[in-house]
Amino acid sequence: MGLAKTEMFSDQQNEIALFAKAFGHPARVAILQHLFKINTCVCGDLVNEIGLAQPTISQHLKELKHLGLIKGNVEGTSVCYCIDTENWSKMKQVMHTFLDQDINNTECC
C-alpha cells in the first residue's frame, strides 16, 4: 500500500480528516467525554474510568495530544490531561463549517 498522499489535498481537507480521527475510536470519545466531565485527569484515573489497559489509554492520549485536542502537564510521576480549549474551539468551527454544508440536489439517485 502506498503513502497517504496527504499533499494531494488542501490544508482544510487534511485538517478536517485529522480532527475526525479523534472521533474514529470509541475510547478516544470516552476519554474526551471524561475530561470534559472532570476538567482535569491523571492517566491512572482514566484507566479505572474507561476500563482499558494503561498502554492502550496512553496510546489514545498520545493521539489526542498529537491532534491538539488535549494538553498535559507533568505532575511528579503522573501526567495531568485536560481539553485544549483553544484547539477544541478551532476544531468545532472547522467541523461545523464542513458539516453545515447543505445538499443542493434533491434529485440524486
- Are the C-beta atoms of 4 and 37 separated by less than 8 Å? no
Q: Please determine, looking at this structure, whether the domain spanning 12-97 carries the CATH number 1.10.10.10.
A: yes
Which pLDDT score is estimated for 42?
74
pLDDT tens sequence for the chain (109 residues) = 455 688 899 999 999 999 999 999 999 999 999 999 987 777 778 888 899 998 999 899 999 999 999 998 877 777 889 999 999 999 999 999 999 988 776 676 6
15 half-sphere exposure, CB direction, 13 A CA radius: 15
pTM equals 0.83
Distance CA 102, CA 43 (A): 40
Distance CA 108, CA 97 (A): 23
Q: Where are the domains of the chain?
A: 12-97
91 phi and psi angles, rounded to 5 deg:
-60, -40
Which pLDDT score is estimated for 1?
42
Which pLDDT score is estimated for 108?
66
